[in-house]
Amino acid sequence: MAKDKTSPSKRKKLNSDVSEVHEEEIMDTKVKKKKKKMEVEEAPVQIVSITADDTKLKKEKKHKKKQKTEQIEEAPVQVVTITAEDKKQKKEKKHKKKEQTEQSEIPDPPNELEGEEDLSPEQKRVMERKMKKVMKKEEKKRIKAEGETVPKTEAASGPTGPQQALLYLTCWSENRAEWKFQKIRQTWLLQHMFDSEQVADEKFSVLLEYLEGLQGAAKDTTVKKAMALVEESGQAPEDKDVQQRAHRAREVIQLLS
């Protein structure tokens, strides 16, 4: 291993130079930090100054906002009450408006003098039918407005349910060839045959003949009903209507038993 031939004086001098360089670097670093710190301290600070006017304006805004909130809270609630008279007036206005609309939709009557020769007989009949419908509709409205009832035509009225049931029984008795079984008519007869006001005595005699062919559930139900009427008559011996129904019930029981 080779020995370091550098003299002690030279080595001492070299070490001294390295130390000086190191110290200079440390000093430079310290100087830079101090300079930076001074720059930060010397930077101008922006100070926002709040004057008395600014404080006053802020208080006024806050006060106005508070007053507005109190006014809203204290404002009276307007309650709108709708009386029966108001409802009636509103309904009348609506009805009048509807009538005006319907009247505006009604076509004007054809002028027979203008263009009559251009219409064919069929077109004339169609026009007449339309006008009749319009006039009939107006007449119904007028009658309804006056509080009258629209009279029913005799042609529209037919025999009622009781009348049809009695006609059914008469057809069975007098014209058996054209007679056809109708359950609904038979049901009505079985339900009302004990009432002399619904089924007269002469019709009840025919009905007894009709009952001779009764079978099944209809027969059982009729017998039960007749027995109930007989039991009821025992509780009301002075009631003529009850006794009359019981009399017919006994005849039915005798026939079907």
Instruction: Give me the percent of the chain exceeding a pLDDT of 70.
Output: 69
- Whether residue 25 is contained in a domain is answered as no
pLDDT of amino acid 105: 53
Query: Which 3-state string (H, E, C) describes 152-185?
Result: CCCCCCCCCHHHHHHHHHHHHHHCCCCCCCCHHH
The chain-wide mean pLDDT, for the chain, equals: 76
Chain-centroid distance, C-alpha 106:
32
Q: Is residue 188 a contact partner of residue 162, using CB atoms and an 8 Å limit?
A: yes
How sure is the predictor about 22, in pLDDT bands with cuts at 50, 70 and 90?
low
pLDDT of amino acid 111: 45
Number of domains in the chain: 1
Residue 171 domain boundaries: 160-256
pLDDT at 235 over 70: yes
Q: Is residue 180 a contact partner of residue 172, using CB atoms and an 8 Å limit?
A: no
The pTM (predicted TM-score) of the whole model is 0.41
Instruction: Give me the percent of the chain exceeding a pLDDT of 90.
Output: 28
- Whether residue 24 is contained in a domain is answered as no
Condensed to tens digits (0 to 9), the pLDDT of residues 107-125 reads 554 444 444 456 666 676 6
- Whether residue 91 is contained in a domain is answered as no
Condensed to tens digits (0 to 9), the pLDDT of residues 158-191 reads 778 889 999 999 999 999 999 999 999 999 999 9
pLDDT at 150 over 70: no
Of 41-55, 202-216, 239-253, give the lowest mean pLDDT range: 41-55
- Whether residue 245 is contained in a domain is answered as yes
Pick the closest to residue 189 from 176, 180, 200 (CA basis).
200
Residue 89 CA to residue 103 CA, distance in Å, equals 21
How sure is the predictor about 153, in pLDDT bands with cuts at 50, 70 and 90?
very low
Q: Which residue has better confidence, 74 or 37?
A: 37
- Whether residue 250 is contained in a domain is answered as yes
Q: Which residue has better confidence, 256 or 150?
A: 256
- Whether residue 248 is contained in a domain is answered as yes
Residue 179 CA to residue 206 CA, distance in Å, equals 15
- Whether residue 136 is contained in a domain is answered as no
- Whether residue 148 is contained in a domain is answered as no
